């Protein structure tokens, strides 16, 4: 019996230390005050804004799907499940915490808020997803490193050709996901930000071609490679989500 006493004391001491370590983190990941209202009826994707800074979380004209995409690093097609309105109903959310929320606590704070006000329940799992992989066995000649201090942007020419400035390859993959209406992952191995432009408008419009086909051909013409692969991908699976009650 005597030999067990030091062990029990050691276990109790460890549990106390763990509790002390966890409690401050838990207190930091909570928004104390939150206003949630439907956005104006004419709000669309172009009006969506999501900002989290310091002790504030401000959303304008964004869907719950938009917020979950943001938490997944804007990797499109990484959120699945949930009701259809999650991608259509837009909300204005203004939340404030009682202290500044550290970067590593932001996801937990936002998920806690969504869980409380939207009854959101979700989990993450890895699934094999049929995906377009963007590859660069040889670095394309037209890919120029961005200048120091250059501002990130994706804009479009008069012919609707995309012009990328200070853009990293995962962002290019996300742009292509929107064009192809299917997941695209960055497998180029290219680090850093780049300037370049694609010219889908210059691709011959063959019978049956749509804009996404011309974008795909422009990607290949630029010097990238594309392959279809089954890629193990971490996804957020929404188990439940309900419309919030009015404030």
Residue range 194-241, pLDDT digits in tens: 999 999 999 988 888 899 999 999 999 999 999 998 988 888 999 999
Name 91's bridge partners. Answer: 38, 62
Both tokens of residue 190?
């290219």
In angstroms, how far is the first alpha carbon of the chain from the final one?
A: 59
| Alpha carbon distances (Å) from 46 to 61, 101, 189 | 9, 28, 31
Nearest CA-CA partner of 40 in 89, 94, 113, 96? 89
pLDDT digits (tens, 9 = 90+) for 116-132: 999 999 999 998 888 99
Residue 9, token pair as written in the block: 């004391």
47-83: pLDDT as tens digits? 999 999 989 999 999 999 999 998 988 777 889 999 9
Q: Which of 108, 94, 119 is nearest to 27 (CA)?
A: 108
């Amino acid at each position: 019996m005597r030999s067990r006493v030091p062990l029990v004391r050691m276990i109790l001491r460890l549990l106390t230390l763990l509790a002390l370590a966890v409690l401050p983190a838990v207190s930091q990941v909570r928004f104390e005050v939150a206003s949630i209202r439907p956005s104006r009826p004419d709000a669309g994707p172009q009006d969506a804004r999501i900002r989290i800074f310091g002790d504030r979380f401000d959303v304008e004209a964004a869907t719950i799907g938009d917020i979950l995409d943001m938490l997944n690093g804007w990797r499109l097609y990484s959120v699945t499940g949930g009701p259809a309105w999650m991608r259509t109903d837009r909300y204005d959310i203004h939340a404030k915490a009682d202290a500044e929320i550290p970067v590593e606590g932001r996801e937990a704070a936002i998920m806690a808020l969504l869980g409380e006000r939207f009854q959101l329940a979700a989990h993450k799992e890895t699934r094999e997803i049929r995906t377009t992989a963007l590859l660069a066995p040889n670095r394309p000649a037209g890919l120029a490193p961005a200048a120091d201090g250059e501002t990130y942007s994706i804009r479009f020419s008069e012919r609707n050709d995309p012009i990328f400035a200070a853009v990293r390859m995962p962002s290019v993959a996300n742009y292509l996901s929107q064009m192809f209406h299917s997941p695209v992952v960055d497998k180029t191995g290219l680090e850093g930000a780049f300037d370049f432009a694609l010219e889908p408008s210059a691709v011959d419009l063959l019978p049956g071609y749509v804009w996404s086909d011309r974008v795909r051909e422009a990607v290949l013409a630029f010097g990238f490679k594309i392959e279809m692969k089954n890629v193990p991908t971490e996804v957020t699976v929404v188990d439940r989500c309900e419309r919030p009650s009015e404030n």
